[in-house]
Amino acid sequence: MSRPLLTAGFLPLLDSVLLVLAHEMGFADQEGFDLALTRETSWANIRDRSALGHFDIALMLAPMPIAASLGLTPLATPMVAPVMTGLGNNAITVSADLWRAMADAGAPGDLEAGPAGLALARVVRTTPRKLRFGVVHQTSSHNYELRYWLAASGIRPDRDLEIVVLPPPLLPEALGSGGLDGYCVGEPWNSVGVDRHGARIATTKSSIWQWSPDKLIGMRADWAERHPDTVAAVVRAIYRAGRWAHEPQNRLPAAEIMARPPYLNLPVGIVARALTGEIDSGVRQLAIPDYFIPHAGAANFPWKSHALWYYSQMVRWGEVAASPDRAALAAATFRPDLYRAALAPLGVPVPAEDYRKDGDRSEPHPTPALGGDLLLGPNRFFDGAVFDPAALESYVAAQRAE
Amino acid sequence: MPSPDLSILIIDENRIRASIIEEGLREAGHGRVAVIHDVNEVGRSLQQTMPDVVVIDLENPKRDTLEHFFSLSRAIRRPIAMFVDRSDGAMIEKAVEAGVSAYVVDGLKKERVKPILDMAISRFNAFSRLTRELEEARGALEERKIIDQAKGILMKTRGLSEPDAYALLRSTAMNQNRRIVEIAQSLITAASLLGP
């Protein structure tokens, strides 16, 4: 059999690190395939070129394959996600002016979502014009976590302020030129805003929802069906890349690789921040060890309950009407079965369940696992809410009622 | 027959390409063609032109921004779907290869939109061809300069006539199975190292 060459799309984001490491560190090679990495300019292109088959696999926003499977995207090609590329890695960054107002309104500058959100709510109430925040794509984790943070802080996202869409690399400059008051984006584009445009990081994804999913490797469902061995090899290569990136001594080398021109083309010092958890918020230096989790706590496992959480947010913000069929389609997009089958030859522990609760644990805790013991990380939402996938309907109903 | 009553919006940061497409559409009888160069202006443009068809280059990083504007404009009952027809795979393929993406108001008949997209695709391709030819011409000019310079060195140091200097470069290239410009470049580099 010939050796597969997979065309893989990605955006210049630190979240692509496991895909890049799979290529650069030989994990793909070890699994018997090659990667042709193609940097794209927009999430829309990633979505369309994946749907058209120009890309075999791509780094995708976690809600993106779900939206495709639900028929919300232009080409509506069903997609699957057999492996996640880590947890966390986003933040909400605001302009120097907005930060000053938030600090005056009581924001302590510790990156905690709760107090920062309350301060922003006070500023929103007293500012005559509507503040404008940027996100990277409509069906993105960023859009949903920004909205979650705003809503739980008493701000109505569609009425009290304006949310616009721009691709990640354009956000810092848009903020610097006064076109935006804030944005939610993956690294390194928060740190770039701090370094080059005087921005301040207001809070992080890891504070809004601890150890939460963000990006994944997505592919067309029919392609995955036709190439089961290749899909398994991809899962293993990403898993191995995650295990490598998990090691503290590999964090700086990973940053050095990502800083190179074909990937981020930025100084290593900026790229390294999220990988080492040494964050410069523009106000102070903070150690946030769980800022980005490439591997620990089953970070690469695609929980069906997480697909359902994204679906709940699509319903919440009016992108799709709730129905049991659509919930089932959303859950079917995430494929823990493919993950387990792919990792079986490695003899590593994998979660035994497909669904879990979120928001109910503030400490690391064991989860039922096959092939060994497995600890999950804390999973609190900053407002104390609990997401129980078994009670999806009441969760959705409660949020819609707000 | 073209459908002159359709409103078309072209979004392209490349002004030359935008005007080439605009011209093509006007020649085909479309009177309602608007062009903008920055997606940031699109909010206002959508209100003003109420486009039935939006054409944007695929490499434009602000396609996400544009799509978001469309979703907002659902409020004014202008649902817009991408491409003409989801089932028309060959058409989509051609468009993507040319670097065009298009958004079309839902419910518009395929036969009314297809000529517009065909036009956009062929003009995009023509523009790429032009750009490529221009680059090649520029490259050829550069090569010519390098060869002229190498000839000059040979004429000066070896006392050759211009045709003989060129013949020497050519025969050396043939013997070494390399391009004349490569030989010329090596000669220039060597001459600058050895210095006057």
Joined tokens for residue B185: 């470049």
Looking at the DSSP assignment, which residues form a beta bridge with residue B82? B103
B63 found inside a domain: yes
**Which residues contact residue A140 at a Cβ distance below 8 angstroms, ignoring those fewer than 6 apart?**
A43, A61, A63, A64
Say yes or no: B149 and B129 in one domain: no
- Best residue in A7, A11, A13, A48 to probe B by mutation, most B CBs within 10 Å? A48
Residue pair A262/A37 in contact (Cβ under 8 Å)? The answer is yes
Chain B residues touching A165 at Cβ < 8 A? 64-65, 67-68
- Determine the structural domain holding residue B44 and report its residue range: 8-133
B71: chain A residues, CB-CB within 8 Å: 138
Interface contacts A/B by beta carbons within 8 Å: 56
Task: For residue B8, give the nearest of B40, B46, B39, B44 by alpha carbon.
Answer: B46
A102 & A240 share domain: no
Cβ-defined contact of B64 to A170 (cutoff 8 Å): no
Picking from A44, A136, A170, the nearest residue to B67 by CB comes out as: A44
CATH code assigned at A76: 3.40.190.10
Q: A137 to chain B nearest CA, in Å?
A: 6
**Domain range enclosing A186:** 90-208
A21-60 residues touching B, CB cutoff 8 A = 41-45, 48-49, 52, 54
Give me the CATH number covering residue B149: 1.10.10.10
Query: What single-letter amino acid sits at A72?
Result: L
CA distance to partner chain B, nearest, from residue A20 (Å)? 22
Model pLDDT, residue B82 = 54
Q: What is the dihedral of CA A251, A85, A17, A14, to 10 degrees?
A: -90
What is the reported pLDDT for A194?
A: 97
Instruction: Compare CB distances from A138 to B60, B68, B92 and report the shortest one's residue.
Output: B68
Say what the pLDDT of residue B177 is.
Answer: 87
Determine which of A38, A42, A161 to mutate to test the interface with B (most B C-beta atoms within 10 Å): A42
pLDDT tens digits for range A318-353 = 999 999 999 999 999 999 999 999 999 999 999 999
**pLDDT tier at B186, thresholds 50, 70, 90:** very high
Tell me which chain A residues have a C-beta less than 8 angstroms from the C-beta of B82. 48, 74-75
DSSP states along A4-22: PEEEEEE-SSGGGHHHHHH
d(CA A150, CA A138): 16
Pairing relationship of beta strands A285-287 and A278-280 according to DSSP bridges:
antiparallel
Interface probe for B, chosen from A40, A73, A164 (most Cβ of B below 10 Å), is A164
Residues B86 and B181 in one domain: no
List chain A residues with CB under 8 Å of B63: 42, 44-45
Q: Does B64 touch chain A (CB under 8 A)?
A: yes
Q: Is residue A242 part of a domain?
A: yes
Cβ-Cβ contacts under 8 Å, B95 against chain A: none
Instruction: Give the bridge partners for A53, in sequence order.
Output: none
Q: Are residues B125 and B144 in the same domain?
A: no
pLDDT at residue B76, as a whole number: 39
- Pick from A76, A169, A163, A168: nearest CA to A124: A163
Provide DSSP, A249-297: GGHHHHHHHHTSTTTT-S-HHHHHHHHHTEEE-SS-EEE-TTSEESSTT
**Exposed (0-12), middle (13-18) or buried (19+): which is A4, by Cβ within 10 Å?**
middle
- B3 in a domain, yes or no? no
Of residues B55 and A56, the one with the higher pLDDT is: A56
Mean pLDDT of chain B, nearest integer: 82
For residues B185 and B156, state if they share a domain: yes
Position B156 in a domain: yes
Pairing of strands A292-293, A87-88: antiparallel
Q: How confident is the model over A280-312, as pLDDT tens digits? A: 999 999 999 999 999 999 999 999 999 999 999
Cα B101 to Cα A125, B58, B104, distances in angstroms: 40, 5, 10
Domain assignment present for residue B170? The answer is yes
Q: Sign of dihedral through CA atoms A39, A44, A47, A52?
A: negative
Instruction: Give yes or no for B90 touching A (CB within 8 A).
Output: no
Q: In A153-250, which ranges are continuous DSSP H helix?
A: 171-176, 189-197, 205-208, 221-226, 228-246
Give the tens place of pLDDT for each residue, B71-106: 776 543 444 555 555 566 677 777 778 888 888 877
Contact A167/B82, CB-based, under 8 Å?
A: no
Residues B126 and B163 in one domain: no
Contact at CB, B83 and A74, closer than 8 angstroms: yes
Residue A143 lies in a domain: yes
Residue A34 confidence (pLDDT): 96
Please state the domain count of chain B. Answer: 2
User: Structurally, how many domains does chain A consist of?
Assistant: 3
Q: Are A68 and A129 in the same domain?
A: no
